[in-house]
Amino acid sequence: MLILLSACSDSTEPEPPDERPAPEDEEVEVEEESAEEEALALLEQSMMTMAALDSYEVNMRAEQSNRRNLTTARVITETTQQLTQDPFAYHETATLEEDNDSSHEQSVIETYFHEDIGFFVHESSLNTWIQLPEETADSLYALQQFNQENQFHLFEQQLDPTSITLVEEDGRYTITADGDLEGLEEAEEELFPALQGGFRLMMEDLDRLLNVESYTFEIIIDKDTMHMRGFTTTIDMMISSGQSAQISAQQSLQLTYSDYNDIESIDIPDDVVENAEQVQIDIEAFQELEGSATDEVE
């Protein structure tokens, strides 16, 4: 909102219009908003519009390639998520396919989250639903609330302002930008305190495993409604245990938004809530993984 107000404000009172006709050769200078400022203002307006929606659907395709020496593994995830804002809840179905030089595996993960009920996950290889710890559900909800209040600020931090481009065509705005690595670190430092307990420790440990080297964004906004229609990011990173072994990874993420305000409610089936097995996050096991996950890489 600050950017919009700054762009639109005037420091002086308007003067009465001069009724005298201007000479034909006199040019009226108009200060044009820079592409960067216009793109950021449009992005903020779109984020505010999305936050004001009652519900929407997101379809996501994520591809990640991991290279260990001469071996390359590829993971493709196709996800559909229906989301409501009040109460904050979502139902998500994700299909994961893993390919490497010697095997092909596929799994399906179904997730329910509701701010008043909890966080439930079912993986196709399991025979039951599991309920994640209350602190994990609370952290996810706190993260959602934090993002709603700070979304534009956090996202702007992660952009290199000199790289921002804006194209207007076919009833849409397309904004592209490169990432700012220092800004990414600053955004993480602001975000992690919103998490709780073991979930926060796990995310901090995971962050230490990953070293982002570069990333780019593309955002597509509907010109008439200001709804976000698409979001794409590509990330190059190294996965490391802090020892000599490293994995080179590239991830691309494509999100498509639809069904704005068309989802009435997210209802978790009674049998899921009643029969789910409660689990705890094993922080010690995760920290052991941090120290040994890449030891097998030779």
Q: What is the pLDDT tens value at each position of the chain, 298 positions in all?
A: 222 222 233 333 333 334 444 444 443 332 345 888 999 999 999 999 999 999 999 999 999 998 776 677 899 999 999 999 999 999 999 999 998 767 788 999 999 999 999 999 999 888 899 999 887 887 777 777 766 667 888 899 999 999 999 999 999 999 999 999 999 998 888 877 767 666 676 777 777 778 899 999 999 999 999 999 999 999 999 887 555 567 889 999 999 999 999 999 999 999 999 999 998 765 554 445 444 444 443 4
Global pTM reads 0.77
Burial of 26 (0-12, 13-18, 19+ CB in 10 A): exposed
Those residues whose C-beta lies under 8 Å from the C-beta of residue 287, and which sit 6 or more positions away, are 205
Do the domain assignments include residue 56? yes
Do the domain assignments include residue 257? yes
Do the domain assignments include residue 119? no
The residue among 252, 263, 207 whose CA lies nearest residue 60 is 252
The angle, 0 to 180 degrees and rounded to 10, between the axes of the packed helices 134-157 and 197-209 is 50
Contact status, residue 98 vs residue 125, Cβ threshold 8 Å = no
Distances (CA, A) of 23 to 15, 17, 47: 20, 15, 44
Cα 25–Cα 27–Cα 29 angle in degrees, nearest 5: 170
Do the domain assignments include residue 137? yes
Cα 250–Cα 251–Cα 252 angle in degrees, nearest 5: 130
Do the domain assignments include residue 125? no
Question: How many structural domains compose the chain?
Answer: 1
Domain that holds residue 185: 33-76+133-267+281-292
Do the domain assignments include residue 120? no
Cα 153–Cα 213–Cα 242 angle in degrees, nearest 5: 110
